[in-house]
Amino acid sequence: MSNSLLNQNNYEEAIQCFDDAIKINPNNCLAFNNKGNALYQLNRFEEAIKCHDQALTINPNNCLAFNNKGDALYKLNRFEEAIKCHDSALNINPQDCDVLNKKGNSLQNLYRFQEAIKCYDKILTINPNNFLSFHNKGNALYKLNRFEEAIKCYDNALKINPQDKEAQTKRLSALGMLKKQQ
């Protein structure tokens, strides 16, 4: 019932159901994690982090709880901590493209563009048609003034999703910047 409430965006009721489940079983890792997800949806990030921490106390190898905690930390602009959580998730599941992408985004927010590019490259070895990886790698290359490479990434992103306005705009901007460099 609580998961269906969560899926219906009925977060307050879902939180109450998760609390009820936790009262019945205080070691219900999934209930803590899902309560954290509901709190996250309500922009109650600090509370969400506490729930994910509780889930990790119960199961220190819970990849999903590390990922979700990292997401909440990201929303609070606590990028270094988010990276640590995403690294912990990647230690459990090194092929998780979603977590690799999130780690790359945190690295970009810290102006660590080369490291971010490595995350996106790893995703592309796992899934060579990952739109977000091409797009985000293009953004990192753009910020490094590597416009020609950025354009290639945006081109690849647009082959996958030709309607993406942001990739179209970034590509045009990179073309303009490349012309200025020449």
Structure tokens, 94: 């090194």
38 and 20 assigned to the same domain? yes
Residue 8 has pLDDT above 90, yes or no: no
Q: Domain residues for 138?
A: 96-182
- Calpha distance 13→35 (Å, rounded): 10
- Which of 94, 123, 142 delimits the end of a domain? 94
Structure tokens, 117: 């590019």
pTM for this structure? 0.91
26 and 114 assigned to the same domain? no
Q: Tens digit of pLDDT for each residue in 101-150?
A: 999 999 999 999 999 999 999 999 999 999 999 999 999 999 999 999 99
Provide the CATH number for the domain around residue 88. Answer: 1.25.40.10
Provide the pLDDT confidence category of residue 18 given band limits of 50, 70 and 90.
Answer: very high
| Pair 70, 102: CB distance under 8 Å | yes
121 and 84 assigned to the same domain? no
